[in-house]
Amino acid sequence: MVSLAASQSRLAAAQALQLVEVALTSQDLDELTARVPPSLAGMALAPSALLYIADSRLSAPRFSQHGLPPEVSGHVRQVCSDELDQSSGRPGLQPFSVPLTLAAADMPVLLLVPLSSQDRCVGLMGLQVSEPARSTAEAFLGLVAAPLANVITYLINHAETEKRLSHLNTYLTVSSLLAQPLDLHELLEAALYSCMQVVTAEAASVLLLDDEKENFRFYQVEGSAKPILMAATFPADRGLAGSVLQTQRWEIVNNVQSDPRFYEQIDSESGFETRSMIAVPLIAGEEQVGVLEVLNKEGGALFTAEEGLLLVSVAEEIAFAIRNAKVFEYVVNTYCKQRQGQRSCRGCQRPLGSWTPCVKYREASV
């Protein structure tokens, strides 16, 4: 006859497999974080459960709980954050408990078990238990912790790979666009849209220096303030744009309102509220062309250094495209207007006043 202990052990193993299956069938980390706590609480017949995931590759920790009172949830989340910060993500963290009330000796506690995978701790899993039942709950969570940590690590790695491929695709797309013989405004519009999409930003702009190098003008803008900003100018030594152009170093400022360099007048005139920014100088060789700005990470999140490095690569392509367009404009205007006396090149009806490199200007000499 099978003993009661053996039956309980088999039941715990079956429930552990069910929970791992829940994790494995999740499409991404957010879905896993949302699904695991209620499933864990239901299988363990516990009033509450939680999952906290933190990794240097994530823009922010993931936290989800089921059944915890609001006044307790925030405290527990902070405890999870503090414990993982102290362990620095190393796998040596041991299970520990957090009291949920100040009641009797058998008061409920939240048992927290580390999720360790590949020599790193990626988070904590918690279950509300009474102190007498702690050992049983700890054994159950121990069955789940390692496979769940492996699934979490896989999803983090997968998301990281997808993000890098997306960044590479954006760079190749922008580079290919800027090589096309099309109107520069159209090209920059597509390039800025791609930048906004890949870093999930609300707005973006290209600011160009005037011929005297004294003022910026908004040459191309994407976002809600576009109709107003396309006519705006401001001194080239002002704002974060002026700062990055002078230092020739890109910057991420995730709270521009607290930065003394921030030029508030543009927001005042446009009605747009700038919260965060990646600013990258546009430099073609040794020539300062202007500044690329990407504004306001969606959802209040923070811009990352990886996103900044992507925009640095894109900015180099934009800078050379603008410089080349200026060179073509000068050559076409000078050659055709002075030698041909025409308003457009032979075989090409595009106005010479645009910044478009006229690919047929050579035919004008035939």
Q: What is the DSSP string of 35-64?
A: HHHHHHHHHHT-S-EEEEE--TTSSS-EEE
**For residue 122, which of 98, 95, 156 has the smallest C-alpha distance?**
156
Decide: 311 and 215 in contact? Cβ < 8 Å.
Answer: no
Decide: 243 and 268 in contact? Cβ < 8 Å.
Answer: no
Decide: 98 and 76 in contact? Cβ < 8 Å.
Answer: yes
CATH for 4-160, options being 1.10.10.10, 3.50.50.60, 3.40.50.80, 3.30.450.40? 3.30.450.40
**DSSP notation for 112-125:** EEEEEETTEEEEEE
- For residues 113 and 101, what is the distance between their CA atoms, to the nearest angstrom? 20
Tokens of 333: 């205007």
Torsional sign, CA 139, 143, 148, 154: positive
Q: What is the pLDDT of residue 341?
A: 53
Q: Which residues contact 349 (CB under 8 A, 6 or more apart)?
A: none
Q: For every one of its 366 residues, what pLDDT tens digit does the chain have, with 9 covering 90 and above?
A: 445 455 556 766 677 788 888 888 888 889 999 999 999 888 888 899 999 999 888 878 899 999 988 888 888 899 889 888 887 666 667 888 787 764 444 557 888 889 987 778 899 998 888 877 788 888 888 888 888 888 888 888 888 777 777 766 766 676 666 666 557 788 888 888 888 888 889 999 999 998 888 999 999 999 888 888 887 899 999 999 999 999 999 999 999 999 999 999 999 888 899 999 999 999 988 889 999 999 999 888 899 888 888 888 888 888 888 887 777 766 666 665 544 555 555 555 555 444 444 444 444 444
Residues of the chain with CATH 3.30.450.40: 4-160, 182-322
What pTM does this model have? 0.58
Long-range contacts of residues 79-87, Cβ cutoff 8 Å, at least 24 apart: 79/112, 80/50, 80/52, 80/54, 80/112, 80/123, 80/124, 80/126, 81/52, 81/54, 83/112, 83/124, 84/52, 84/54, 84/121, 84/123, 84/124, 87/114, 87/121
Q: Would you state the torsion angle of the CA atoms of residues 101, 83, 29, 129, taken in this order, to the nearest 10 degrees? A: -30
**For residue 326, which of 298, 345, 354, 302 has the smallest C-alpha distance?**
354
Tokens of 239: 């704002």
* Residue 222 DSSP symbol: E
Architecture of domain 182-322: 2-Layer Sandwich (3.30)
Q: In which residue are the tokens 């062309």 written? A: 289
